[in-house]
Amino acid sequence: MAKFKGAIVIDIEKCKGCGLCVEVCPQKVIELGNNVNTKGYFYADVIKEDCTACENCVMVCPDTVITLYKAKLEV
Amino acid sequence: MDVKFESWKEIIKDENIVFKKTKVLTDNVLSYCPGCGHGVAHRLIAETIEEMGIQDQTIGIAPVGCSVLAYEFFDIDMQQAAHGRATALATAIKRLYPNKFVFTYQGDGDLAAIGGNETLHACNRGENIVIIFINNGIYGMTGGQMAPTTLEGMVTSTSPYGRDPQMMGHPLRITELVAMLPGTYYVTRQAVHKPANVRKTKKAIRKAFENQQQNKGLSFIEIVSNCNSGWKMTPVEANKWMEENMFKVFPLGDIKVDGELVKEL
């Protein structure tokens, strides 16, 4: 079975820290950090590299700040 | 671009992109509160427009309400209507430019309260337009007052002891109401709180625009959404509350497909 690996890049300046992506991520890759952006929001941050590119976070993000990358794992 | 992990560096390349912000949305930061369903609804409409390749043929109508600035966020031709009059304006635009795609984007205060008259008559005439109706059961922009769609017993700033149906009436299910009119072709109720619902909503929006392309008639899409600021909850709690309470009064699913009622009203 081909395995996929994903990676997400969050535009932290546009993130409003609503936490919806944290809730839907099955791998718990995203977390609200302790840092704030220039608007004063605690933005979402990536804490692990277990992303499987399931697209859940990009589906629910209201501000479309997440870009998702997906690549086939070479085994 | 800030890449945190070594193994991610090789994945983050342009050819590996599977999702990025659509070009039909502008770079402006949305004016909505964190976690608001408006953002997802905007994205779905924009993606549909991009996928159908109709960016330069689409005219959107912005309402009065939280989404009054929608013309700042969509990179298409937009017109902003007087309060509640979006469907009337859409009628005029569609009749003058029958080959353009015309959609209105309205909240529950705009569509069901102030614009109730215009909405019912546009639906009854069966104008060939798409109506996107965001229902969050409250007047969001003005500070959380009671709307026609507010649930029984729900506390808002103008119903501080909860909505009493004896005095303030029952929640208005306008989607069921317009489904009964012979003019409507496609009527559905969707939500955008979970990935699966988001995908379904996108399919519904696509179907609505395709109906307009084929001159089938009026498509009416209600999107049940949250208003975490108005409901005084965190975004995650608001979505949970919406699932437990809003969906009882506003059940999800298709109501009218291809001009035929598919659900008992």
Q: Using CA atoms, how far apart are residues B56 and A6, in angstroms rounded to an integer? A: 34
Query: Has residue B62 got a pLDDT over 90?
Result: yes
For residue B8, tell me if it sits in a domain: no
Work out the average pLDDT over B33-41. 95
pLDDT tens digits, one per residue of B140-158: 999 999 999 999 999 999 9
pLDDT of A2 reads 65
B34-54: average pLDDT: 96
- List % helix, strand, coil for chain B (3-state, nearest 5): 40, 20, 40
Q: Can you give the pTM of this predicted structure?
A: 0.94
Could you give the CA distance from residue B134 to residue B222 in angstroms, rounded to a whole number? 6
Compute CA B216 distance to the chain's CA centroid, rounded to the nearest angstrom: 20
Cα separations in angstroms, B165 against A12, B157, B170: 45, 16, 5
ipTM of the complex: 0.93
For residue B149, tell me if it sits in a domain.
yes
Residue B11 has a pLDDT of 87
Give the count of alpha carbons within 13 A of A28, CB side only. Answer: 0
Query: In terms of CA atoms, which chain A residue is nearest residue B3?
Result: A9
CB nearest to A17's CB, from B8, B10, B34: B34
B179 token code pair: 């489904």
Average confidence score pLDDT of chain B: 94
Are the C-beta atoms of B39 and B30 separated by less than 8 Å? yes
Residue A43 to residue B209: CA distance in whole angstroms? 35
Phi, psi dihedral angles at A18 (to 5 degrees): -75, -25
A53-69 per-position pLDDT tens digit: 999 999 999 999 999 99
Helices B86-96 and B116-125: angle between axes, nearest 10 degrees: 30
| Count of Cβ atoms closer than 10 Å to residue B11 Cβ | 21
Whole-Å CA distances, B226 to A8, A18, A37: 26, 12, 25
Q: Give tens-digit pLDDT for B186-210.
A: 999 999 999 999 999 999 999 999 9
Inside any domain, residue B11? no
Q: What is the average per-residue pLDDT within B124-139?
A: 96
Percent of chain B with pLDDT over 90: 93
3-state secondary structure of B106: strand
Query: Which of B12, B38, B195 lies at the smallest CB-CB distance from A55?
Result: B195
Residue B18 CB burial class (10 angstroms; 0-12, 13-18, ≥19): middle
Q: Which of B2-16, B51-65, B236-250 has the lowest mean pLDDT?
A: B2-16
φ and ψ at residue B113, rounded to 5 degrees: -100, -75
pLDDT, mean of residues B55-67: 95
Give the residue, B235 or A72, on which the prediction is more confident.
B235
How far does B137 lie from chain A, in Å, by closest CA?
A: 19
Asked if residue B8 has pLDDT above 90, the reply is no
In total, how many domains does chain A have? 1
Tell me the CB-side half-sphere exposure of residue B134, using CA atoms within 13 A.
29
Contacts of B248 (CB under 8 A, 6+ apart): none
Residue B88 lies in domain: 24-261
Taking contacts as CB-CB distances below 8 angstroms, the residues of chain B near A70 are 11, 16, 18
Domain of A62: which CATH number? 3.30.70.20
Number of domains, chain B:
1
- pLDDT for B187 equals 97
Q: Which CATH number belongs to the domain containing residue B149 in this structure?
A: 3.40.50.970
A49 pLDDT tier (thresholds 50, 70, 90): confident
Q: Indicate yes or no: CB of A68 within 8 angstroms of CB of B22.
A: no
Quick check: is B217 in a domain?
yes
Whether B242 is in a domain gets the answer: yes
Residue B87: alpha-carbon gap to chain centroid: 14
* Residues of chain B above pLDDT 70, percent: 99
Residue B214 to residue A61: CA distance in whole angstroms: 32
* Residue A55 belongs to domain spanning: 4-72
Q: For residue B1, is pLDDT > 60? A: no
Q: Nearest CB to A9: which of B12, B30, B33?
A: B12
Q: Is residue B2 part of a domain?
A: no
The two three-digit tokens of residue B33, written as one number = 């509160």
Residue whose pair of structure tokens reads 């975004």 in the numeric block: B235
pLDDT at position A75 is: 63
